[in-house]
Structure 1
C-alpha cells in the first residue's frame, strides 16, 4: 500500500511543483487541510532545502472565534520557528458596502493579501491545501452553474498567480487521508463551524451530493482528479494550436483595437474558434476577470453568427464590438448608440446608458442595492433562459410570452395596449437571453416564466433599479 508521503511526493515530482531552494508561502486557515500541509512541508523542508512561511487571514466573519483561529496559527508558527504573516480583513463591512457573494469577496481579499506578502518578501510560490475532494466539488459546482470546459478542468496543480505561482501538492490525496496523516503526527487544528452549515453552495455539495457518489465508488474524488488532468492536457494542446492560427484570424489595428475576420474564424474547427476568442479576450482585458468569461465568448460567437450585416455589442470596461459584414472591430467605446446591444455581466450590477441599473446573477447571492428610487426584483430558472443576457431595443417581429396568453404577443401591440408614446418605443429597453427570448419589457411586462416570487427551481435573480425622474419618463 502506497503511503501518504509517497503519494504526495510522487505528485510533486510529476508536476514539478517544488524544487530545491524554493521559498514557499503556505496559506493556512488553521483547519485540518492546511495544518496537514504545514506539517508535511515542515517534515520535508530540510531534506529538499526549502524555506517555508505561513500566511493567515482572519475574515472577521465569526467574531472572537475567527480571531482565536488567527492566534492559534500564530502561536503554532512561533513554537516551530516559522515566520508567519497574518491580518484581519473586515469582510462584513465590505459585504455591506459592495454586496455580492461572501465567499467570492473572502477569496479576493485573502489572495490579494497573499500576493502582497509574496511580493514584499520575494516568495515565489503560494502553496494551498486543496485536495481531491475539493477538485470533485469544484467540477460538480461548475457543471451545475455553467457547464463550461474551464470549470470542468477544475484546479491545476500549478498555475500562474499575481506574483509567482500557486501550487497544490495535495490534489492527489483525499481529505480523509489528510486527516489520518495529521493525526499520525499528533497535529492539532481548528474546526470552522461554518463548514457544517448548508448556507454555501460548496457545503451543500459536500454534505449531500458527494456522500452519495462515494457510496457508489469511494475513489470518485481521485477519478475527478484524473479527469481534470486529462482535460487540462487536452485543452492546453488545443490552445497551442489556436495560438498558431490566431494571427490569421485577428489583426491588431491600434493600441486597444483588434479586427476579427469572420470567414477566417469560421474556417477553423469550432474547438479552435472558441479558444481564438479567448486569446483575443486576454489581449483586450489583460488577464483580468473578463479574460476567461464564457458570457463574453458566447456573445462574440453570437455576433459572428448573426445574419445582420451591421450589429454592435457592448462589452465590459467600455469596450464595444462592431460587426460590419465579414469583420468585427473591437475598440474602446466613444459614442453611445441607443440602438445597440448591451451585454450584461453575470453576478454584477450593469449600468445602462438609459439610466437603469440591472443586476442578473445567482439567486443565492446577496445583492447590495444601488440605492435608486425604485426597485423591481424577479426570479427565473436557467432551464428557461440561457446566458449570456443582454438589454437591447426592439426589432421587427419581436414577441413576448405573457402569463395567461396561449400565444406570444407582438411587442408592437403591447406598446399600444400599454400606451407607450410612439417616440419612446424604439428606445425602450428589453431584457433578452442568448436565444433572443424576451424576458422582460423593462418596467412594463415580464415573460410568463419570470416571477416576483422565488420558486424552488429558480436559480437566477434579476434586480432592476431606476430613479423616479427616469421612471416618470419611461415607466409611467
Structure 2
C-alpha cells in the first residue's frame, strides 16, 4: 500500500519526470530505509537514477559508526551507489553556540547540497512523514508562530539549485512501520528518539498519546490543517506582494524602508505579512528566527504615535522610525555611534572646506550679481548680503546643545533642536548636518533653515552664496 501511495505522490503531486536523478537521504531509520526501497523499486519503471547520501553526525559514538555501516550494506545489496560524509556537530556547537539539533540539521543539509551538486543529482528525497508534519505544526503552534508557520514541512522546496522532495509526507509512521515488517527490513533504531529530552520527542512520546485519546486521528487532522493553510497561503502571497509594493520606499542589501502612513492604512493582518516579507528578504537575517512576537514588536513600533526613534533587536537588527518612514537595517559601527563630531573649521571666503571626511563639504562663493536659481538648485544653498555680515571669520562645526538661531518672522531666536524637529530631520541624522556660524550666531543649517542675519535687499551689491555638497544621501 505504501508503495502505491508514494508512486501517486511522485507522479501526481511532485511530478517527477522519467530518468530523473534522485539522491535519497538515508539515516538508517525506518522512514529513510522504507523510502529507499520504494524509490529503488519504482526506479525500474521510471528509469530513475537513484543514489544514497548518509551523514554521520558523530554524536552517538559506536552507534553512529554502526548506522553508517548498515546503510552502506543496504546500498550494496540494492546495488545503489552510496556516499557517506561525517560532520562534527559538537565542534560547531562549541565554536558557534546554538541548539545541537539545529546545528546537526544545518550541517546535514549542507552535505546534501554538496553531494547532489558534485554527483549531478537534481532531487534530494527526504523521509519525513505525516507524523513528522503533525509534530512540526504543533511544535510551532506551542512556541508561537504566524499562520504561514502552520503549513508545516513543504512537500517540495527549491534549495541551493536542488529540489528537496518528501514523498512520504502524506503517509503515517504506522504505514512506514508496516511496510518494513512486510518486507522483512530491519532498520536501525536511534535510541535518542526514545528519550523525551527534546521537544519533538516529548510531543511524540507523551503529548500525542494523550491527544489521541480525544481524537485517534489527531495527527492526520493536524497534517490536513497544514495542507489547507498551504492552499490559502498561495492567495495570501499575492495579497502581501501587492501590499509590499504599496508601502516600500527603498531596499538594498543592508536595509529596507517603507512608508508609515501607507503601512498603517493596511489591515493588521497584512501589516504582519508585510513585516514578515521584509524580514525574509534580508539575506543577513537568515540565522534569525522570524517569530510572531518579533513581527508584532516591529509592527507595533512602526504603528505607534511616537514620531521618531529606534529599537535594537538581537543579531544587530535596528528598527528606526523617522517621522513618515520606517527602516530595518543591520546595525554597524556608524549606527552605534550616531553622534558625529569634528573640529570647528574656518570657512575661507571664497573657498571650500571638508567639514567631515565621510559627509561632505561647504563651499563659499562671492558674486556681484544674484545667480540664477539653476546655479544652486541641485544642492542645499543659502545666500547672504556679504556687506551686512560682521567683519569676522565664518566657522563650520557640528551642532551643540543649546544652539539657537534667529529666524525670519520670529521675535528673538529659536532652538536649533526645535527647527530640526519641525523639518522632520531624524534624530540619528541631526549630528551629521553642519552648523555654519559667525561670532557665535548660527548663520545657516543646510536642509534646515537660513537665519535672519544679512538678508538680501535691493541695495545688496555683494552676494555670498553658501552651498553644501553632501557626499551621499544620509542614512
Contact 1:171–1:225 (CA under 8 A) maintained in structure 2: no
Contact 1:129–1:168 (CA under 8 A) maintained in structure 2: yes
Structure 2, gaps ≥5 residues long: 340-475
Match of 2:205, SS state, is helix
Output the TM-score relative to the length of structure 1: 0.66
Residue in 2 that maps onto 1:275: 273
Match of 1:152, SS state, is helix
The Cα shift of 1:84 comes to 0.9
Moved more, 161-170 or 315-324: 315-324
Q: Give the number of aligned pairs.
A: 338
For residues 112-145 of structure 1, the C-alpha deviation after alignment (integer angstroms, 9 at most, x for no partner) is 1111111212212111111111111111111221
5 Å-filtered alignment, 1:107-122, equals 107-122=105-120
Cα distance change, pair 207–332 in 1 and its aligned pair in 2 (3 A): closer
Cα distance in 1 for residues equivalent to 2:252 and 2:286: 20
Residue in 2 that maps onto 1:416: none
Cα distance change, pair 330–197 in 1 and its aligned pair in 2 (3 A): closer
The Cα shift of 1:333 comes to 3.4
User: Are residue 192 (structure 1) and residue 166 (structure 2) matched?
Assistant: no
The Cα shift of 1:219 comes to 2.1
Contact 1:281–1:290 (CA under 8 A) maintained in structure 2: no
For residues 135-170 of structure 1, the C-alpha deviation after alignment (integer angstroms, 9 at most, x for no partner) is 111111112212432432211111222331211111
**Larger Cα Rg: Structure 1 or Structure 2?**
2
Contact 2:7–2:42 (CA under 8 A) maintained in structure 1: no
For residues 284-321 of structure 1, the C-alpha deviation after alignment (integer angstroms, 9 at most, x for no partner) is 22782348454542332022122211111235564533
Match of 1:289, SS state, is coil
Which consecutive segments of 4 or more residues in structure 1 shift more than 4 A?
Answer: 315-319, 337-340
Cα distance change, pair 259–39 in 1 and its aligned pair in 2 (3 A): same
Moved more, 315-324 or 305-314: 315-324
Cα distance in 1 for residues equivalent to 2:338 and 2:227: 45
Structure 1, gaps ≥5 residues long: 341-476
5 Å-filtered alignment, 1:71-470, equals 71-252=69-250, 256-285=254-283, 288-290=286-288, 292-315=290-313, 318-334=316-332, 335-337=334-336
The Cα shift of 1:71 comes to 0.7
Output the TM-score relative to the length of structure 2: 0.66
For residues 405-431 of structure 1, the C-alpha deviation after alignment (integer angstroms, 9 at most, x for no partner) is xxxxxxxxxxxxxxxxxxxxxxxxxxx
Cα distance change, pair 275–14 in 1 and its aligned pair in 2 (3 A): farther
Match of 1:323, SS state, is strand
Residue in 1 that maps onto 2:378: none
Moved more, 270-279 or 55-64: 270-279
Cα distance in 1 for residues equivalent to 2:15 and 2:193: 29
**Alpha-carbon RMSD:** 2.3
The Cα shift of 1:205 comes to 0.8
Contact 1:17–1:167 (CA under 8 A) maintained in structure 2: no
Match of 2:282, SS state, is helix
Contact 1:158–1:166 (CA under 8 A) maintained in structure 2: yes
Moved more, 129-138 or 276-285: 276-285
User: Are residue 46 (structure 1) and residue 44 (structure 2) matched?
Assistant: yes
The Cα shift of 1:184 comes to 1.5
For residues 246-283 of structure 1, the C-alpha deviation after alignment (integer angstroms, 9 at most, x for no partner) is 22110226553432011111222222222222222233
Cα distance in 2 for residues equivalent to 1:291 and 1:62: 28
Cα distance in 1 for residues equivalent to 2:285 and 2:101: 21
Cα distance in 1 for residues equivalent to 2:142 and 2:253: 39
User: Are residue 55 (structure 1) and residue 61 (structure 2) matched?
Assistant: no
Residue in 2 that maps onto 1:345: none
Cα distance in 2 for residues equivalent to 1:328 and 1:224: 37
Moved more, 313-322 or 242-251: 313-322
The Cα shift of 1:214 comes to 2.4
User: Are residue 33 (structure 1) and residue 38 (structure 2) matched?
Assistant: no
Cα distance in 2 for residues equivalent to 1:253 and 1:4: 48
Cα distance in 2 for residues equivalent to 1:272 and 1:135: 26
Cα distance in 1 for residues equivalent to 2:257 and 2:156: 33
Cα distance change, pair 14–220 in 1 and its aligned pair in 2 (3 A): farther
Cα distance in 1 for residues equivalent to 2:230 and 2:163: 17
Cα distance change, pair 113–295 in 1 and its aligned pair in 2 (3 A): farther
Contact 1:249–1:264 (CA under 8 A) maintained in structure 2: yes
